[in-house]
Amino acid sequence: MRKINIFDTTLRDGEQSAGVNLNLHEKLEIARQLERLGVDIIEAGFPAASKGDFQAVQAIAQTVRNCSVTGLSRSVQSDIDAAWEALKDGAEPRLHVFIATSPIHMQYKLRMTPEQVVETAVESVRYAKKYFPIVQWSAEDACRSDLPFLATIVEKVIEAGANVINIPDTVGYITPKQYGDIFSFLKKNVRNIEKISLSAHCHDDLGMAVANSLAAIEAGATQIEGTINGIGERAGNAAIEEVAVALYIRKDYYQAETRLNLQEIKRTSSLVSKLTGMIVPPNKAIVGKNAFAHESGIHQDGVLKEKTTYEIISPQLVGVQSNSMVLGKHSGRHAFRTRIQELGYSLTEEEVNRLFARFKDLADKKKDITDDDLIALILDEKLDMYKNFYQLCSIQVQYGTNQIPTAVVVLKDGEGNDIQEAATGAGSVEALYNALEKALQIPVTLLDYRIESVGSGRDALAQVYVKVSLDRKEASGRGTAQDVLEASAKAYIHAVNRMFVIEKMKEEQALAAQ
């Protein structure tokens, strides 16, 4: 069995998904879960992009010890210096440096000749090797590059010290056979290719990211890059969970394996979905809620007689448990704390106490508290970092089929002052958001509003995701409550507070620069 390294870029390429904006605490939660999942490399961000990105990469590198943490860098010395400062305390610091190699990128974006691109690539790798024990070099838009030129530049950067060569399908253009042929071409035409590991990074613009990744493995790639749930720019990246389970189920064919703990897949998928606000489609392979559902009578009959008739993947393989522990109003603090630890969350004693009080309050209203409910409460507790801005004190909404919906809201600002406003709207949510906008006295535009239930039943928690804009700046927010309107108000306030946090960080950066 060949070992395939998993390079997870959820926190870098995944966060570049439209509308996704993770803060430091959320990135750390995802990084810890990726470590539990067993990925080999976590691409934590682009350190030179912003102070926030630098701090996140640095914090993740200092926290994660069981896998390598890397950061992205252009072929610029200042980018490489910033990456080293952020990553130097990691267990295995590595750099991911790139430059475009396709004619269209070299001519129109870089405005460089092929010779200049080769020189820049070699210089950047050589410079990076002064600091980093492992340097990964990527040929951006490799799949639309001239193959002899690609072979030349790959050979040169290997001579300069590159340890991993990544061949990205940056725009999701190539087909599986063509992609495999590129790897075969490089193996035949790059004389020092045996010194390095070949990596595949595929985008899903034509829906072939996973198929292309598997084709690369067949052609000799030993590292696959992707994201959890396949999130990422435009149509997203190769879904790590799909590649890993395909290798496991069809190991007879691929003769390759990863070190992923497959039972952590569902938990990782759910965490990424909740923190990014990107809901997993029900028909999504491996982690969609319909992935193990059987509607057809013929299928149901077959599964009841022998599961393998229609079920090639067992739910338990990827961590979908039907017998998860259920807590209730009689559950004690010890059982509560133990379950939180089993779910993989580390909270301070103060956070546990606050969360336990909220758990007891919810248990009085809801008979059984499932793992999904607990995770929603935990993530909601993480929003408390914005308490220095606006807090929701109360809402009151009047609605009737023959009445104009009216909402009254009471907020508390960062200085402890109460703000009360009322407004009407065409519906309850619009009335509520109109009242909040009046209370905040800022022109907030609602760009997106989504709601989903946590669990099932009449007493299920509601989880609302929103995206708002203010002065052409966008922020996302989420809120959880038993009442849909309360969850809606929390999500709105969360998004606005996040916007204030971002602006405050920018002001602090500007002052520091002075």
**Is residue 34 assigned to a domain?**
yes
Position 512 scores a pLDDT of 57
Position 389 scores a pLDDT of 82
Quick one: angle between helices 371-382 and 333-342, nearest 10? 90
For residues 374 and 399, state if they share a domain.
Answer: no
**Is residue 287 assigned to a domain?**
no
**Is residue 182 assigned to a domain?**
yes
Position 323 scores a pLDDT of 44
**Is residue 409 assigned to a domain?**
yes
Choose one of 383, 416, 438: the last residue of a domain.
383
3-state secondary structure 303-367: HHHCHHHCCCCCHHHHCCCCCCCCECCCCCHHHHHHHHHHCCCCCCHHHHHHHHHHHHHHHHHCC
What is the rounded CA–CA span in Å between residue 31 and residue 243? Answer: 19
Choose one of 334, 363, 383: the last residue of a domain.
383
For residues 370 and 401, state if they share a domain.
Answer: no
Of 450, 447, 410, which is closest to residue 432 (Cα–Cα)? 410
68, 38 Cβ separation under 8 angstroms? no
Q: What is the CATH number of the domain that holds 305?
A: 1.10.238
For residues 319 and 401, state if they share a domain.
Answer: no
Binding annotation:
13, 201, 203, 237
Choose one of 274, 289, 319: the last residue of a domain.
274
What is each CA distance from 429 to 6, 47, 269, 274, in whole angstroms? 43, 39, 29, 21
54, 78 Cβ separation under 8 angstroms? no
**Is residue 403 assigned to a domain?**
yes
Coil vs helix vs strand at 270: helix
For residues 164 and 225, state if they share a domain.
Answer: yes
Residue carrying structure tokens 């909270």? 347
For residues 178 and 325, state if they share a domain.
Answer: no
Q: How many CB atoms lie within 10 A of CB 443?
A: 9
**Is residue 289 assigned to a domain?**
no
Q: What is the CATH number of the domain that holds 479?
A: 3.30.160.270
Residue carrying structure tokens 């149901």? 300
Position 224 scores a pLDDT of 98
DSSP H or E stretch at residue 1: none
For residues 464 and 502, state if they share a domain.
Answer: yes
For residues 2 and 55, state if they share a domain.
Answer: yes
Residue type, 86: A
DSSP result, 419-450: EEEEEE-SSHHHHHHHHHHHHHTS--EEEEEE
**Is residue 291 assigned to a domain?**
no
Instruction: List the Cα angle 324/330/334 in 5-degree steps.
Output: 70
Backbone angles phi, psi at 23, to 5 degrees: -90, 180
What is each CA distance from 22 to 26, 164, 274, 369, in whole angstroms? 6, 28, 11, 27
For residues 61 and 200, state if they share a domain.
Answer: yes
Local mean pLDDT, 10-residue blocks, the chain (514 residues) = 97 90 89 97 96 95 97 98 98 97 96 97 98 98 98 98 98 98 98 97 98 98 98 97 98 97 94 89 92 61 65 87 65 84 80 87 80 80 65 94 95 90 96 95 91 83 90 84 94 87 59 56
Q: What is the pTM of this model?
A: 0.86
Binding annotation for Mn(2+):
13, 201, 203, 237
Domain that holds residue 348: 297-383
What is the rounded CA–CA span in Å between residue 138 and residue 105? Answer: 14
For residues 370 and 416, state if they share a domain.
Answer: no
Of 373, 249, 379, 367, which is closest to residue 317 (Cα–Cα)? 249
Q: Which residues pair with 197 in a beta bridge?
A: 164
**Is residue 281 assigned to a domain?**
no
For residues 164 and 53, state if they share a domain.
Answer: yes
Q: What is the CATH number of the domain that holds 169?
A: 3.20.20.70
Number of domains in the chain: 3
For residues 323 and 257, state if they share a domain.
Answer: no
The pair of three-digit structure tokens given for residue 374, joined into one six-digit string: 């607990």
For residues 73 and 95, state if they share a domain.
Answer: yes
Position 61 scores a pLDDT of 98
Backbone angles phi, psi at 420, to 5 degrees: -125, 135
